[in-house]
């Protein structure tokens, strides 16, 4: 008869290796999550707390700024992810052609560089480039699109602020898609294309019927991941526009930050954070299900 | 290959022939890639040229492509001021400590997940994957209060601790997937030869998975080096600031010294770019692993 020690030998050993990490992560993630849930039912400036029940959530429903930020977050996310995908796929396809090996790895290396930069640093460069005196206006003036004396402040105009932040975000983060899709392209078996060549398929046909279906798994994964990352992004907006002008580039992360750390309405900010958490949780659940089903 | 019996007699003048067409396509690919590199590098080049011109020249309209006056003064200012140098030191120390802790803790947890079957394994994996999706701004609210309570607000220790929330799960998942590909027989053979379990791990598994350690380590370092939100919320005094925050606060000053800010940005990006040049292979591995492991 196996003794208790033998039966649970693996369990004991496994958890003796696991517990430090698990302890840290539970303390740093689960406990704070519980704290935010609790706070969302209070009116709190972190010193005085009054129970308000669902008051924060009720107020949230009627808060036009919150829903405006929500909508803008969705637009920002959708535009960023779509452009990441188009640009990343285009460049990956180019890099996957029969090129000189040195040129290929050099080009790939150079194109990854923006992704190494901190969003803060990348944001600052773009703030400078998009300023009224910036090089972007200078370029447009030189090409004759605008009059130099009426230069636009791209980040100061409500019509262009969010678009400008999106442009920066596309520039900084497309390499992730490019690298992932290039790896995906290189994993497609060559014989599929050879068979299509024998059947006389055109380049476009091969792309639609072989390349895209073969890349579907990678594309779904990176689109889900990028959606989650962009949806929760704080740095680009905070650094470039601070959510302005007139909240035209406000996203959920900045709204929550300002409500909490500037207006000191921590209960309300917690309720907002819970809405954001639930949205992210749903998307994450899809992602987790996908990865876990690959697991066994 | 057999030629079809009915060869077209007249070849269209637009028909370039397969070989020429392929050559043209390839030329087009080179051209487009070079164009892409130029466009992508433009903001980086701009950062570089602004960092070596006097600040007065930065706001000139229309801007000069090449600085009229070349000066290294912004760099000299940064390197001669302890106020700025401390920021570099802070960022370096924090990033290195976070990386070391994540790798050590991550490797231990990854070993458990890769080598044992135990109750709760799936739940632990699912938890680790989900943690990477947490909205970080949500965590700021409780962290702010908790760190004040424990007297850790405005300390570098606080940043090291909170950075583990996103670096540790990544390291665990990446190392685990690498460990899974290393046959356990090798460790068992070492154990038969008289090694303890820990001895076997350090003599076989760890040296064999060095690419994963380098990849995960570099990516962790990058995440810690570039983090901004927690630094804004948890650090107040200049002496404890990190680079991203310091660069941001330069903008908020009375007169924005763009040349200084760009010099700062160049210096902040340089370590990552240099590391990338030498360790590209591992870094790309870390990058792709972020999405493909788990």
pLDDT digits (tens, 9 = 90+) for A226-266: 999 999 999 999 999 988 788 999 999 999 999 999 999 99
How far is the alpha carbon of A154 from chain B, nearest alpha carbon, in Å? 15
How far is the alpha carbon of A162 from chain B, nearest alpha carbon, in Å? 19
Q: Which of A28, A112, A270 sits opposite B164 (nearest CB)?
A: A28
Q: Cβ contacts (< 8 Å) between B276 and chain A: which residues? A: 109, 112-113, 116
Full DSSP string of B75-124? HHHHHH-HHHHHHHHHHHHHHHHHHHHHHHHHHHHHHHHHH---TTHHHH
- Whether the pLDDT of residue A131 is over 70: the answer is yes
Q: How far apart are CA B283 and CA B294, in angstroms?
A: 17
Give chain B's length.
294
Shortest CA distance to A237 belongs to which of A160, A154, A164? Answer: A164
Which residues are CB-neighbours of A249 under 8 A, at least 6 positions away? A72, A161, A162, A165, A237, A240, A241, A243
- Whether the pLDDT of residue A92 is over 50: the answer is yes
Confidence class for position A7, pLDDT limits 50, 70, 90: low
Residues A33 and A165 in one domain: no
Nearest Cα residue in chain B from A92: B33
Angle in degrees, CA B87, B88, B92, rounded to 5: 120
Shortest CA distance to B280 belongs to which of B215, B227, B216? Answer: B215
Buried b (16+ CB within 10 A) or exposed e, B184-221: eeebeebeeeebeeeebbeebbbebbeebbbbbbbbbb
How far is the alpha carbon of A229 from chain B, nearest alpha carbon, in Å? 7
A46 inside domain: no
Q: How far apart are CA B7 and CA B253, in angstroms?
A: 76
pLDDT above 90 coverage of chain A, percent:
57
Residues A81 and A188 in one domain: yes
A24 inside domain: yes
Residues A32 and A167 in one domain: no
Residues A22 and A139 in one domain: no
Beta carbons of B247 and A17 less than 8 Å apart: no
Residues A76 and A17 in one domain: no
Which residues are CB-neighbours of B211 under 8 A, at least 6 positions away? B178, B281, B282, B285
Handedness of CA A252, A258, A261, A263 (dihedral sign): negative
The predicted structure's pLDDT at residue A11: 82
A210 inside domain: yes
Which residues are CB-neighbours of A62 under 8 A, at least 6 positions away? none
Cβ atoms < 10 Å from Cβ of B85: 12
- Whether the pLDDT of residue A171 is over 60: the answer is yes
Cis peptide before B91 (omega within 30 of 0): no
Q: Is residue A167 less than 8 Å (CB to CB) from chain B?
A: no
**Four-CA torsion B229, B128, A169, B286, nearest 10 degrees:** 110
Q: Is the CB of residue B187 less than 8 Å from the CB of residue B201?
A: yes
Handedness of CA B82, B88, B92, B94 (dihedral sign): positive
Handedness of CA A57, A267, A34, B223 (dihedral sign): positive
The predicted structure's pLDDT at residue B63: 80
A164 inside domain: yes
Q: How far apart are CA A94 and CA A111, in angstroms?
A: 12
Residues A73 and A102 in one domain: yes
How far is the alpha carbon of A152 from chain B, nearest alpha carbon, in Å? 12
The predicted structure's pLDDT at residue B201: 85
Number of folded domains in chain A?
2
Residues A13 and A120 in one domain: no
CB-based burial of residue A101 (10 Å sphere; 0-12 exposed, 13-18 middle, 19+ buried)? exposed
A48 inside domain: no
Range of the domain at A12: 1-39
Q: How far apart are CA B64 and CA B292, in angstroms?
A: 45
A44 inside domain: no
Kindly give the confidence (pLDDT) of every residue in chain B, 294 residues in length, as a single tens digit, with 9 standing for 90 and above: 444 555 555 555 555 666 787 888 889 999 999 999 999 999 999 999 999 998 888 877 778 788 888 888 889 988 998 888 999 999 999 999 999 999 999 999 999 998 888 888 888 988 998 888 888 999 998 999 889 989 999 899 999 999 999 999 999 988 998 888 888 888 888 888 888 888 888 888 888 888 889 989 998 999 999 999 999 999 988 888 999 999 998 886 666 788 889 999 999 999 999 988 888 888 777 767 655 543
Q: Cβ contacts (< 8 Å) between A243 and chain B: which residues? A: none
B189 membership: H or E segment, kind and range: helix B184-192
Shortest CA distance to A165 belongs to which of A118, A268, A234, A223? Answer: A234
Instruction: Map chain A to HEC letters.
Output: CCCHHHHCHHHHHHHHHHHHHHHHHHHHHHHHHHHHHHHCCEEECCCCEEECCCHHHHHHHCCHHHHHHHHHHHHHHHHHHHHHHHHHHHHHHHHCCCCCHHHHHHHHHHHHHHHHCCHHHHHHHHHHHHCCCCHHHHHHHHCCCCCHHHCCCCCCCCCCHHHHHHHHHHHHHHHHHHHHHHHHHHCCCHHHHHHHHHCCCCHHHHHHHHHHHHHHHHHHHHHHHHHHHHHCCCHHHHHHCCCCCCCCCCCHHHHHHHHHHHCCCHHHHHHHHHHHHHHHHHHHHHHHHHHHHHHC
Q: Which of B29, B43, B141 sits opposite A97 (nearest CB)?
A: B29
Residues A28 and A77 in one domain: no
Q: Which of B116, B228, B294 sits opposite A13 (nearest CB)?
A: B116
* Mean pLDDT across A112-138: 91
Query: Which among A15, A21, A144 is the top mutation candidate for probing chain B, defined by the most B β-carbons within 10 Å of its own β-carbon?
Result: A21
Residues 140-159 of chain A whose Cβ lies under 8 A from any Cβ of chain B: 141-142, 148, 151
A50 inside domain: no
pLDDT above 70 coverage of chain A, percent:
97
Residues A11 and A98 in one domain: no
- Whether the pLDDT of residue A149 is over 80: the answer is no
Q: Which domains does chain B have, with CATH numbers?
A: 76-292 (1.10.3720.10)
Cβ atoms < 10 Å from Cβ of B49: 18
Beta carbons of A148 and B129 less than 8 Å apart: no
CATH of the domain at A72: 1.10.3720.10
Residues A9 and A90 in one domain: no
Which residues are CB-neighbours of A118 under 8 A, at least 6 positions away? A235, B225, B226, B227, B228, B243, B244, B268, B269
B273 membership: H or E segment, kind and range: helix B258-292
Q: Is residue A125 less than 8 Å (CB to CB) from chain B?
A: yes
Sequence-ordered alpha helix ranges (H) in B51-81:
55-58, 73-80
Q: How far apart are CA B52 and CA B259, in angstroms?
A: 7
Q: Cβ contacts (< 8 Å) between A257 and chain B: which residues? A: 137, 140, 229, 233
Residues A89 and A5 in one domain: no
Shortest CA distance to A123 belongs to which of B3, B218, B226? Answer: B226
The predicted structure's pLDDT at residue B192: 84
Average pLDDT, chain A: 89
Q: Report the predicted TM-score, pTM, of the whole model to 2 decimal places.
A: 0.90
Residues A32 and A67 in one domain: no
Handedness of CA B138, B142, B148, B151 (dihedral sign): negative
How far is the alpha carbon of B185 from chain A, nearest alpha carbon, in Å? 17
Residues 185-244 of chain A whose Cβ lies under 8 A from any Cβ of chain B: 221-222, 225, 228, 232, 234-235, 238-239
Q: Cβ contacts (< 8 Å) between B140 and chain A: which residues? A: 257, 260-261
A187 inside domain: yes
């Amino acid at each position: 008869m196996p003794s208790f020690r033998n039966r649970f030998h693996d369990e004991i050993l496994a958890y003796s290796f696991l517990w430090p990490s698990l302890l840290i992560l539970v303390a740093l993630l689960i406990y704070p999550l519980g704290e935010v849930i609790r706070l969302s039912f209070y009116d709190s400036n972190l010193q005085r707390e009054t129970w308000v029940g669902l008051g924060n959530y009720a107020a949230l429903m009627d808060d036009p700024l919150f829903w405006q930020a929500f909508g803008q977050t969705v637009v920002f996310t959708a535009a960023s992810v779509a452009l990441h995908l188009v640009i990343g796929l285009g460049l990956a396809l180019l890099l996957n052609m029969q090129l000189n090996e040195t040129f290929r790895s050099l080009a790939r290396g150079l194109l990854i560089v923006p992704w190494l930069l901190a969003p803060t640093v990348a944001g600052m460069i773009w703030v400078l480039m998009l300023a009224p005196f910036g090089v972007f206006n200078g370029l447009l003036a030189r090409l004759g699109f605008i009059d130099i004396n009426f230069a636009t402040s791209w980040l100061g105009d409500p019509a262009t602020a969010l678009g400008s932040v999106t442009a920066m975000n596309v520039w900084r983060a497309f390499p992730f898609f490019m690298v992932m899709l290039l790896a995906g392209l290189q994993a497609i078996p060559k014989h599929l294309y050879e068979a299509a060549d024998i059947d006389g398929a055109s380049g476009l046909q091969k792309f639609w019927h072989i390349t895209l279906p073969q890349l579907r798994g990678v594309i779904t994964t990176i689109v889900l991941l990028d959606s989650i990352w962009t949806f929760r992004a704080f740095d680009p907006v905070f650094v470039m526009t601070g959510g302005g002008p007139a909240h035209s580039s406000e996203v959920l992360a900045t709204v929550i930050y300002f409500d909490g750390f500037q207006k000191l309405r921590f209960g309300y900010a917690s309720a907002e954070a819970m809405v954001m958490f639930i949205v992210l949780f749903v998307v994450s659940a899809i992602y987790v299900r996908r990865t876990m089903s690959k697991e066994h | 290959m057999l030629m079809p019996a009915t060869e077209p007699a007249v070849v269209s003048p637009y028909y370039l022939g397969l070989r020429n067409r392929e050559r043209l396509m390839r030329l087009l690919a080179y051209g487009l890639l070079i164009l892409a590199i130029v466009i992508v590098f433009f903001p980086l080049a701009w950062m570089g040229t602004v960092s070596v011109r006097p600040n007065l020249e930065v706001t000139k309209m229309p801007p000069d492509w090449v600085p009229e006056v070349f000066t290294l003064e912004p760099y000299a200012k940064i390197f001669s001021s302890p106020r700025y140098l401390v920021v570099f030191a802070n960022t370096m120390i924090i990033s290195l400590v976070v990386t070391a802790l994540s790798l050590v803790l991550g490797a231990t947890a990854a070993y458990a997940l890769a080598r044992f079957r135990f109750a709760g394994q799936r739940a632990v994996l699912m938890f680790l994957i989900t943690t990477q999706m947490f909205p970080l701004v949500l965590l700021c609210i409780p962290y702010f209060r908790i760190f004040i309570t424990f007297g850790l607000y405005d300390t570098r220790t606080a940043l090291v601790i909170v950075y583990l929330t996103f670096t540790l799960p990544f390291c665990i998942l990446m190392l685990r997937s690498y460990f899974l590909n290393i046959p356990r027989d090798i460790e068992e053979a070492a154990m038969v030869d008289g090694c303890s379990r820990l001895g076997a791990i350090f003599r076989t598994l760890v040296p064999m998975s060095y690419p994963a350690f380098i990849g995960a380590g570099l990516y962790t370092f990058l995440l810690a080096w570039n983090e901004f939100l927690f630094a804004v919320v948890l650090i107040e005094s200049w002496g404890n600031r990190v680079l991203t925050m310091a660069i941001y606060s330069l903008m908020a000053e009375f007169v924005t010294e763009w040349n200084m800010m760009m010099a700062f940005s160049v210096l902040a990006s340089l370590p990552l770019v240099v590391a990338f040049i030498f360790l590209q292979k591992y870094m790309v591995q870390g990058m792709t692993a972020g999405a493909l492991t788990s």
